[in-house]
């Protein structure tokens, strides 16, 4: 039995040193017990007694070493020299026990025989007890130093266990010295097992509880099968001695078929009546993973987790708490089984976080209560709420929340397997919840975003209104300004012209001449206002164009007609010939284009002292080309560059003609370009005449 336990412990956690050393110790004890048993069994055969006794010691010599090793593993200390010494001594005694210096001959007692102790045996006993004392002292000191209630409990049992083993078991040495004490000492082995079993069950010691239970199920079903089979065999042997082989086979067959059935029955029995939740962690994890990946809703997540975990762990209650870092508390978000209302809050504790949660491991209230932070209100709050286990949900180092479990319905404690399961699940649940929270945040954010957009557009709309107002004000200004400027100009023009026409009577030549100057000057002013107005309108985008399809030749004809007289007055020839073939129509603002033509031809007249001005229109691809060629003063290269700019007047000609405002060609350029046409001038140089061109696209 001891051996079996040892094997289970070892198998449970081959990596754990504690388990390993314990297994070794168990092995040693097993050897001791078994060999002793054999020794007694063979009590009549001296030779075998001695043989088996040596066997006994083969096991016993290692007991101190293994024991000490177990202690070191249990308290998590590194192997020290004491251990090395122990092993050395054990090994040496192993060899010595083969010799007669160790034990020799036998004592015969009524109950059996035992070898006699020799010299090295004495040494061994000394060694044995030294280490026992060391072990107990150290173990006890450790026991005193433990804070965790759970560990304390476990250690207590270990102490009791080994105490019983050694106090009673050591008495087994006495027969070697001639004391005929009945070897009830070997019962110590039994006690060892029993106490250990109790420790395992109640204190999660070495956590082989599950295995223990499963093996119990296994063994009980095994016995349940074997016993009737053997009884049957025995009966058959008794009554049908001859038919020996057939029954054997039949028996085996019956046993083999009975066994699984019975095992199943026992397993279910154990599950139902003992509340043992022998669940399959992998199954739970798989099931939960599937459920978690199917939803983004926090409520659903809580429900899925509740369903699978409560089913597996049989907890009385489960609750989910959301961590609110700004308020530094946990808010109850969902619970099943707790007698608290939702939104119940518990203050968070940085200490708890730094010492426990940050390791992403589930922690039990028991552990916290016996830890260094036992007095924190945090622990009290949770304990009062009826919570036994807290599982932190972490993503990287951020604590999202907690899952809390109440005690199990069966009253059992949460074992290592449960904690492992919770550890794995916590990572998954943390991620799922984080996603759900982010999803909710996104939804909220979207709402917030549309609010912000509305607000922003409100600002924009307001700004737009402002702009519209400004625009209107500008228009009004232009209108009023032009109107106000023109009024006095009109008066001067009107009376001036009438005077010059003689409507107020004859004037002396001198007066006439001077009135003319006033009149002419005024004309310039009017032209200037006109230009300024146009430019202002163009630049503020207010210039309206009235596009219509028409024949360009008609417009040019009318312009030429208007300017024929002024040209003739200067003795210039104004040549224009309507094209023979009708040109394609153009989509233009008649008034504006007319103005441009007038400007150009008028300029030509102005700057041509003698000769002619030839005006032409012709079709050039998809454009109509207007040209005005004169024999006038020409344009210098420098002037040509700046010709169409604002306020430019030829440097050369400025001395001669000072009336121009310098805006005419600029406005002309604006107009033509607004029609998607092109305007330019060419000249061979001073006194070589000039040519002005513009193109207009034909109407599509």
The binding site for other proteins (CB under 8 A) comprises 475, 478-479, 482-483, 486-487, 489-491, 493-498, 501, 503-504, 526, 529-530, 533, 544, 546
Percentage helix, strand, coil, to 5, in the chain?
65, 15, 25
CB 205 within 8 A of CB 170: no
Tokens of 347: 């203050």
Ramachandran bin of 206, using left for φ above 0, alpha for ψ from -120 to 50, beta for the remaining angles: left
Q: Write the secondary structure of 245-273 as one string of H (helix), E (strand) and C (coil).
A: HHHHHHHHHHHHHHHHHHHHHHHHHHHHH
Q: Which residues of 187-206 are buried (b: 16+ CB within 10 A; e: fewer)?
A: ebbebbbebbbebbeebbbb
Least distance in angstroms from the C-beta of 502 to other proteins: 10
Least distance in angstroms from the C-beta of 542 to other proteins: 8
Nearer to other proteins, 421 or 533 (CB): 533
Nearer to other proteins, 501 or 581 (CB): 501
Nearer to other proteins, 178 or 488 (CB): 488
Nearer to other proteins, 218 or 547 (CB): 547
What is the spatial distance between Cα 433 and Cα 391, in angstroms, rounded to a whole number? 14
Least distance in angstroms from the C-beta of 588 to other proteins: 15
Relative to beta strand 103-108, strand 690-697 is unpaired
Nearer to other proteins, 331 or 500 (CB): 500
Q: What are phi and psi of 549, to 5 degrees?
A: -75, 135
DSSP symbols for 202-215: HH-GGG-HHHHHHH
Q: What angle do CA 84, 86, 88 make, to 5 degrees?
A: 70
Nearer to other proteins, 590 or 652 (CB): 590
Cα dihedral sign for 681, 683, 687, 692?
negative
What is the spatial distance between Cα 590 and Cα 549, in angstroms, rounded to a whole number? 9
- Burial class from Cβ neighbours inside 10 Å (0-12, 13-18, 19+) for residue 150 reads middle
Least distance in angstroms from the C-beta of 504 to other proteins: 8
Least distance in angstroms from the C-beta of 441 to other proteins: 53
What is the spatial distance between Cα 331 and Cα 454, in angstroms, rounded to a whole number? 34
Nearer to other proteins, 329 or 497 (CB): 497
Cα dihedral sign for 34, 36, 40, 43?
positive
Least distance in angstroms from the C-beta of 679 to other proteins: 22
Nearer to other proteins, 479 or 654 (CB): 479
Q: Which residues of 162-179 are buried (b: 16+ CB within 10 A; e: fewer)?
A: bbbbbebbebbbebbeee
Least distance in angstroms from the C-beta of 475 to other proteins: 8
Q: What are phi and psi of 630, to 5 degrees?
A: -125, 165
What is the spatial distance between Cα 100 and Cα 54, in angstroms, rounded to a whole number? 10
- Which residue reads 């081959």 in tokens? 14
Least distance in angstroms from the C-beta of 659 to other proteins: 17
Least distance in angstroms from the C-beta of 524 to other proteins: 13
Cα dihedral sign for 556, 559, 565, 568?
negative
Least distance in angstroms from the C-beta of 490 to other proteins: 4
Of 525, 474, 538, 523, the C-alpha closest to 666 is 538
**Residues in a beta bridge with 363:** 390
Nearer to other proteins, 82 or 527 (CB): 527
Least distance in angstroms from the C-beta of 498 to other proteins: 6
- Which residue reads 């762990």 in tokens? 313
Least distance in angstroms from the C-beta of 670 to other proteins: 16
Least distance in angstroms from the C-beta of 596 to other proteins: 17
Nearer to other proteins, 562 or 682 (CB): 562
CB 225 within 8 A of CB 258: yes
What is the spatial distance between Cα 486 and Cα 289, in angstroms, rounded to a whole number? 87
Nearer to other proteins, 14 or 503 (CB): 503
Nearer to other proteins, 496 or 664 (CB): 496
CB 158 within 8 A of CB 139: yes
Least distance in angstroms from the C-beta of 471 to other proteins: 13
What is the spatial distance between Cα 244 and Cα 485, in angstroms, rounded to a whole number? 142
Nearer to other proteins, 81 or 546 (CB): 546
Least distance in angstroms from the C-beta of 559 to other proteins: 16
Tokens of 568: 């003739």
Nearer to other proteins, 1 or 478 (CB): 478
Of 171, 86, 87, 162, the C-alpha closest to 130 is 86
Nearer to other proteins, 531 or 630 (CB): 531
């Amino acid at each position: 039995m001891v051996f079996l336990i040892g094997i289970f412990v070892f198998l449970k956690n081959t990596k754990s040193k504690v388990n390993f050393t314990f297994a070794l110790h168990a092995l040693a004890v097993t050897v001791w017990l078994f060999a002793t048993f054999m020794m007694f069994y063979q009590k009549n055969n001296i030779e075998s007694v001695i043989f088996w006794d040596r066997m006994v010691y083969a096991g016993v010599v290692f007991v101190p070493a293994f024991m000490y090793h177990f202690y070191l593993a249990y308290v998590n200390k590194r192997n020290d020299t004491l251990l090395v010494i122990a092993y050395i001594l054990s090994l040496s005694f192993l060899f010595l026990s083969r010799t007669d210096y160790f034990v020799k001959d036998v004592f015969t007692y009524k109950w059996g025989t035992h070898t006699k102790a020799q010299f090295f045996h004495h040494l061994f006993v000394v060694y044995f007890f030294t280490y026992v004392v060391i072990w107990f002292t150290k173990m006890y000191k450790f026991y005193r130093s433990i804070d965790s209630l759970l560990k304390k409990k476990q250690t207590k049992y270990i102490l009791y266990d080994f105490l019983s083993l050694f106090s009673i078991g050591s008495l087994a040495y006495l027969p070697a010295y001639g004391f005929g004490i009945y070897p009830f000492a070997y019962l110590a082995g039994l006690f060892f097992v029993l106490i250990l079993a109790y420790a395992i069950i109640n204190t999660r010691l070495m956590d082989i509880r599950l295995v223990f239970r499963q093996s119990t199920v296994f063994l009980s079903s095994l016995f349940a099968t074997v016993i009737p089979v053997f009884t049957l065999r025995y009966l058959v042997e008794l009554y049908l001695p001859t038919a020996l082989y057939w029954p054997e086979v039949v028996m085996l067959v019956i046993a083999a078929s009975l066994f699984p059935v019975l095992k199943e029955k026992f397993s279910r029995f154990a599950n139902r009546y003992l509340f043992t939740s022998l669940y399959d962690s992998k199954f739970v994890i798989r099931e939960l993973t599937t459920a978690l990946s199917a939803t983004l809703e926090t409520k659903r997540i809580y429900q899925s987790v509740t369903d699978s975990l409560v089913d597996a762990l049989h907890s009385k209650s489960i609750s989910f708490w959301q961590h609110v870092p700004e308020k530094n508390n946990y808010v109850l978000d969902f619970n099943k089984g707790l007698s608290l209302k939702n939104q119940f809050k518990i203050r968070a504790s940085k200490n708890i976080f730094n010492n426990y949660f940050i390791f992403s491991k589930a922690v039990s209230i028991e552990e916290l209560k016996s830890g260094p932070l036992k007095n924190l209100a945090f622990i009290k709050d949770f304990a009062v709420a009826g919570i036994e286990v807290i599982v932190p949900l972490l993503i990287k180092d951020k604590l999202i929340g907690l899952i809390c479990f109440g005690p199990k319905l069966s009253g059992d404690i949460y074992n290592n397997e449960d904690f492992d399961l919770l550890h794995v699940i916590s990572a998954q649940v943390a991620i799922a919840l984080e996603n759900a929270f982010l999803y909710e945040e996104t939804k909220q954010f979207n709402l917030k975003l549309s609010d912000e957009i509305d607000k922003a557009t409100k600002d924009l709309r307001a700004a737009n209104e402002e702009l519209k107002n400004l625009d209107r004000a500008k228009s009004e200004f232009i209108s009023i300004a032009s109107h106000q400027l023109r009024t006095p100009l009109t008066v001067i023009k009107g009376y001036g012209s009438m005077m010059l026409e003689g409507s107020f009577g004859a004037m002396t030549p001198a007066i006439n001449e001077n009135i003319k100057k006033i009149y002419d000057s005024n004309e310039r002013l009017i032209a200037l206002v006109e230009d300024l107005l146009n430019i202002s309108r163009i630049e503020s985008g207010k210039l309206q164009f009235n596009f219509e399809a028409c024949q360009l030749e008609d417009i040019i004809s009318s312009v030429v007609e208007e300017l024929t007289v002024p040209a003739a007055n200067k003795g210039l020839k104004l040549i224009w010939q309507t094209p023979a073939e009708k040109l394609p129509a153009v989509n233009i603002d008649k008034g504006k284009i007319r103005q441009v033509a007038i400007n150009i031809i008028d300029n030509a007249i102005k700057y041509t002292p003698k000769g002619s001005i030839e005006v032409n229109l012709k079709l050039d691809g998809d454009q109509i080309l207007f040209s005005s060629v004169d024999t006038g003063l020409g344009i210098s290269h420098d002037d040509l560059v700046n010709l169409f700019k604002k306020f430019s007047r030829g440097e050369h000609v400025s001395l001669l003609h000072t009336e121009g405002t310098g805006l005419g060609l600029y406005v002309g350029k604006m107009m033509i370009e607004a029609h998607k046409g092109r305007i330019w001038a060419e000249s061979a140089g001073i006194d070589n005449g000039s040519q002005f061109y513009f193109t207009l696209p034909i109407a599509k």
